[in-house]
Structure 1
Amino acid sequence: MASARGIVQALRNPHVWALACLMALFTAIYYGEYLRMSEWMPFGKAFFTASYPHDLHRALFLIPMLHAAARFQLKGAAVISFAVFCIVLPYSIVVSPEADPVMRAVSFIVVASLATVLLGLAQDRWLRLKEERDFISALVDTAGALVLVLDPEGRIVRFNRACERTTGFSSDEVLGKHVWDIFLLPEEVPLAKDVLRGLPDGQLPSKHENYWVTKDGSRRLISWSNTPVLDYQGSIQFVLSTGIDITEQRQAEENMRIYAELVTEAQEEERKRIARELHDDTAQELASLALDMDLLINSPKGLSTTMVNHLEKFRDKADHILRGVRRFSQDLRPSLLEDFGLLVALQWMTEDLSNHYMLSSSVNVIGEPRRLSDHTELVLFRIAQEALSNVRKHARATRATVQLEFSPDKVILTVTDNGQGFEVPKATGDFVRLGKLGIVGMYERARLINGDFAVESEPGKGTRVRVELNS
């Protein structure tokens, strides 16, 4: 069924009929003298006599052979070469008066077939390359990402439709021009030229971000991934860059950061208000209540021993509640943080942890301590507070260490414990699925101060929380 369909399609192809006509004509010319065609065709004498060398008649078959190779590649070249062999060889054996006619015919057919097959191979290779090029071109043009190809001098070689939509420029307007002459901000041009100058040394950054200026003058932030394209000698021939417009994404992230910062500020103000009320009202009332019970216990009017014992128990409970309220007030908003800074507040927090929860805790300092901004110190304190709270509640640890490392341009906060540890998920969002919301909160707080947050842990090997920020 498939072969029958192939035959029908071949019969519908005009090039097949053209080849058939050429083969019939050249066969008639080749056998014309033997068939005495010059006697019954008025123009036959000019073609079918021996006035032309017989090799010239054979050479005419090169025309359909090459045409078949050009149109049908290797398969067409092979079929026509075999047909010519079948046409030429009988004449050489039976009719030709030439010396050694078979060898001459076979030599011609071999050489002609070889040339035809080589042409067919070249045509087939060219068509495959063209199909591959057209496929890649269509893929590049229909891709949603920006695709930019530069030569080593920074001139634009390829500019896909996504680039056109994003910038407002057409390919014809930018091809052959330097990328920095059209799109880059003046302050980013030296960096782009330095990158291209580093190409011979293989110092091409795999990823980078920069702003592009569009045709209407607006700016778009593009995240690029770069890949060098090498020639056969291993030298960089082109730079292929694929980009994603992250302008809206970055703006949304900035809006979320500002929103989170405002929410955090509101939370801290509310914490401060509650801590003040606990300290000024609740704690004072509890202290007054304990004092009244003391006065009642020591009253000159004799109370029964049972009543005194009950009052002493009530006073002890009041004292315990008072200490808890004061500790809770300090946790909400430690005055030490505002008055003396982050280091003193961390030392107070680790001492409280050691005294009240039997968890050996300490603070280590590396480098020369210095004060940071109020907002930064508050965020770092909250991260350390949450990390130590997790150690106390979940880690089953006996030791926790808070380390502050100061360098001229960085500050690193690390909280380490020797607890049971856990399997750290690959994505930050998986912490929510696992119910580890405290870690997510630390991550979000670190983002508020543009810090890098990391959690390292393994089952049975403790946990390490690290925040690094420029200062």
Structure 2
Amino acid sequence: MSTEFVLGDDFARVLTETTQALVCVLDSGGRILLFNDACERTTGYGRDEVIGRDARESVIPPEESEAFGDVLAYIWRTRLSSPQVGHWVTKNGDRRLIAWSNRLMPAVDGNGSFLVTTGIDLTESAEESEGALSGDVEAKLAEVGRLAQEQRALRRVATLVASEATPERVFAAVSEETSRVLEVNASAVFRYEGDDTATVVGRHDREAVGIFSVGDRIFADDNTAIGRARDTGLPARIEDYFAIDTDVAKTMREAGYRSTVAAPIFVSGIPWGAIAIAAREALPDESEARLMGFCELVSLAVASAQAREDLQSSRARLVKTGDEQRRKLERNLHDGAQQRLVSLALTLRLARAKLESDPGALEPILAGAAQELDLALEELRELARGLHPAALTEQGLAPAVRALGERLPVDVRVDDLDERLPDYLEATAYYICSEALTNVAKHARAESARVTFHREPGVLRFEISDDGRGGADGRGSGILGLRDRAESAGGTLFVISPPGKGTVVTATLPLD
């Protein structure tokens, strides 16, 4: 069973591509269904090397295999989460210490369930603390307790994210959990704006009165920790606000805060925001690393929410486009063929009236009626071509696009495609080509255009290029419509349109 089927394609793509946390999805037998980019980077395995295999045959060390099976059995028997700390073996034989949170989720079709596990690589922090902890039982117990508390907090936030809670709920929960787990006076989640500012989207203060409120917008320049985190892409800190003379530092000093640590939140590889904590004393050295686990969960929540919003917007645009096409068809029928048929009916009534009184006048009247009928039939054929051209059904994709190009005021060259494709795929590709070439004719000021088709393993890839003025707006309704049509068939569509250098539209559609 594919992960897209049990988890949902959009959420599976978010888990795979956007978060830097380790995310691995397992079935009840321990087989790996999803292995995200972070897992690949950590282990050196490509997902094609592990998908469908029992984790005990690839990443779980032999001496931990039995315990791993016991944990799986316990989770499926009790339906309860069971956070674990264990090792993964990398492709080159190294070992990584991983802290895991997990949650059972039902398949989207209601048949069965699967285990979503999110992990944090503790290898470096474990190596750094090994010397300090050796021989010190109390320190070991304290460290284990701290890790357990942190894992419980991460698990609570991960559960919110997996349940598709609103980002606002996740921001509030992250602020509260980081404040509690890191034992700091205040914590907040910020969203970067287009200038040197950031907006507070979640906050928690252990004191009765906080400095900022949700919705406040503050400066985020290089004199602030959140500004430095945005500019460098790395965690940053302000060690002592009493040594800095800025408005933000003054506000923090007046509230009694001395230091701040901030860690960036990345969404689709771009700094989206940051989590920041503040304390009345110097913050520990490990604060940055501990914040990063929460950043990954916020990243996942934001990316998931954006994917849902994009999907809803795409569906709304498709519905709107369908309504507009129906109205256009109705208008064309009313103003074109319907009017000609009404005129034809009147002409035939006139002919009937002349049949006995003036038979000699029938010939020009009937000739006019025949002309009206020919025009009506041609307009109906033109409408039918817009709905589904006969050439597409009878001859295939490339000939249909070539016939379309012959009716446009642009020289259109279409490469051959040697084989027929499934009907739905040919129709989707045809209408993408049709809309793209229509845009070329209307807006590009091009002399020529070219359409190329390439069948590759599992996909059809095709390009529509022109020699026009370029500079097409990727957010415009025309390109959004093309992208919506491609994505509705499970494909992708990209546009490259540098000013003065033409436009290239590249679409990829799955063959299955």
Q: Could you say which TM-score interval applies, normalised by the shorter chain?
A: 0.3 to 0.5
Which has the bigger relative contact order, CA under 8 A and spacing at least 6?
2
Bigger share in helix: 1
TM-score by length of 1: 0.41
